[in-house]
Amino acid sequence: MQEPVLVLNATFEPINVTAVRRAMVLMIKGVAQAEEINHAHVHSASRALPVPSVIRLLAYRHIPQQTRALSRKNILLRDRNTCQFCSRTLPASELTLDHVVPRSRGGRSSWENLVACCYKCNNSKGNRTPEEAGFALARRPRPFTLHTSRQLMRLIGNKDEKWRKYLFY
């Protein structure tokens, strides 16, 4: 019930990824319909419902410019759980956040100054800038945007072929 389901607006524009449970609730309420179905079914006492892979909202929803809260989870999501100095992909528990410009030197806690970093690289970098420590950033840190959200949907969708035609590969 926690498998990812792609949510499309009424115009077939991808707007979110949700869990099967939430997708089924939207379908039962008549707010959404299944566009793509998985092979599994959810059974109740009186019916068996197919599990959706992609749902579409029946009424158009205006989606305001989306901003994500600045949080550890969202920084790790943006950086794909990859240390931005040594490029190793690690579990979230083995990563920390690093201020590119250290806080002691006036660096702020912002999307443009925080990156995912493994403990070893963070300890090596210490209270220095990456250049002073001899490190290079894999990618310049940027704010989380709609473009970033679509990239993440594509990454999740790589496991499900049915998503491809909706994600503009």
Q: Are residues 81 and 43 in the same domain?
A: no
Average pLDDT over residues 2-17: 87
Classify strands 32-43 and 48-57 as parallel, antiparallel or unpaired. Answer: antiparallel
Query: Is the predicted pLDDT of residue 128 greater than 70, yes or no?
Result: yes
What is the extent of the structural domain holding 48? Answer: 4-64+146-166
Query: How many structural domains compose the chain?
Result: 2
Average pLDDT over residues 28-57: 91
- pTM value? 0.57
Query: Is the predicted pLDDT of residue 74 greater than 90, yes or no?
Result: no
Q: Are residues 59 and 19 in the same domain?
A: yes
11: Cβ contacts below 8 Å, ≥ 6 apart: 60
Q: Is the dihedral of CA 110, 112, 114, 116 positive or negative?
A: positive
Helix (H), strand (E) at residue 148: helix 146-157
pLDDT band at 14 (very low <50, low <70, confident <90, very high): confident
Higher pLDDT, 143 or 118: 118
pLDDT of amino acid 77: 83
How many Å apart are CA 158 and CA 16, to the nearest integer? 15
Quote the mean pLDDT of the chain.
88
Could you report the per-residue pLDDT of 140-149, keeping only the tens digit for each?
998 876 555 6
Q: Are residues 87 and 49 in the same domain?
A: no
Site of tokens 């989606």:
63
Q: Are residues 46 and 13 in the same domain?
A: yes
